[in-house]
Amino acid sequence: MTQAASPTPRRTLTDRLVDLAHSRWLLPILLLVEVVETSVLPLPYEAAFIALCLAARDRIWLFVAVSVLGSAIGGSIVYAIGSVYFDPIITRLGVEEIAATYTERFSERGASFIFLGGTTPAPSYVINLIAGATGYPFGEFFGIFTVSRLVRFGILGGLLFIFGAQITGGWERLPKWLKRGLSILIIIALIYWFISGLSG
At 110 the pLDDT is: 83
Contact 13/183 with Cβ under 8 angstroms?
yes
Residue environment code for 2-28, b if the CB has 16+ CB neighbours within 10 A, otherwise e? eeeeeeeeeeeeeeeebebbeeeebee
Query: What pLDDT shows up at residue 149?
Result: 95
pLDDT at 172: 56
Q: What is the pLDDT of residue 35?
A: 92
Q: Per residue of the chain (200 residues), what is the pLDDT tens digit?
A: 455 554 444 555 556 666 667 778 888 988 998 998 888 777 778 878 888 888 888 889 999 999 999 999 999 999 998 888 876 766 665 656 655 666 777 777 888 888 988 888 666 777 888 888 888 899 999 999 999 999 999 988 898 888 866 655 555 555 666 656 655 665 565 555 545 554 45
pLDDT at 1: 47
- Report the pLDDT value the prediction gives residue 159, as an integer from 0 to 100: 86
DSSP labels, 36-60: HHHHT----HHHHHHHHHHH-GGGH
Residue 198's pLDDT is 46
pLDDT of res. 108: 77
Please tell me the predicted confidence (pLDDT) of residue 113. 84
Return the sign of the alpha-carbon dihedral for residues 128, 133, 137, 139.
positive
